[in-house]
Amino acid sequence: MSDNNQCECACESLSARVGAEVPSFELQTYDPQASAFGKISLDEIKSQKKWTILVFYPADFTFVCPTELADLAEKHEALAKLGAIVVSVSTDTQFAHLAWRNSERLLEKVKYLMGADPTGEVSRLFGVYDCGSGLALRGTFIINPEGKLVSSEINFYNVGRNADELYRKLEANVYLAAHPAEACPAKWKPGAKTLTPSEKIVGNVYDALNK
């Protein structure tokens, strides 16, 4: 088996699965608010009863990436109010994060933790590690306070994401954590109708949403 095939197999075998508990992991970080290096672990976030949002991106000092991180920064406060700790992650070091954040004007409002994954270990865990380039694809993951992966989105290098949709998905998941018998339909936002799955609405979802 070639080294590349071995790497692909390793990536596949380590991938966290939606609906399953995420294995513990730890990341070295740069904290823009404190202007300091540190570390964060899933166990630490779970101990705080917080949601975890991981936003993987390919690399510092690139092109689409600063636009995504700037967009995420606009939603950071709102995400935090819903009980989430946000961590951006790439395979760069925390030292590169510091240099990039302080030189790229688009990142001036970034206050969330910037995670370093130079070995690709955490990227492999979430199935976003590109063995050919050593970079991470654009993966967004939401982990609930109990450590279960509840949302997964992976884009290729050339398509940026929308933090508004990330916020909407977190809102829905926070709501459902408090109302586990319900389900949120497409484009659901707080105040809109939800669905309560049962035999009564099979084939009658329109009526359930519009009565």
| pLDDT tens column, 159-174 | 999 999 999 999 999 9
CATH at 131:
3.40.30.10
Q: Which of 7, 9, 11, 65 is catalytic?
A: 65
In tens, the pLDDT along 12-53 reads 445 799 999 999 999 999 999 999 999 999 999 999 999 999
Question: Which residue segment(s) compose the domain that 84 sits in?
Answer: 3-161
Query: Could you identify the residue written with the tokens 């970034």?
Result: 110
Two tokens, residue 146: 């109990």
In a domain, 173, yes or no: no
Strands of the 149-155 sheet, one edge to the other: 36-41, 26-31, 113-116, 84-90, 51-56, 138-143, 149-155
Instruction: Kindly report the pTM of this predicted structure.
Output: 0.92
In a domain, 36, yes or no: yes
| Domain count of the fold of the chain | 1
E-state strands within the chain: 26-31, 36-41, 51-56, 84-90, 113-116, 129-130, 135-136, 138-143, 149-155
In a domain, 170, yes or no: no
Residue 131 designated active-site: no
In the predicted structure, residue 11 carries a pLDDT above the cut 70: no
In the predicted structure, residue 201 carries a pLDDT above the cut 60: yes
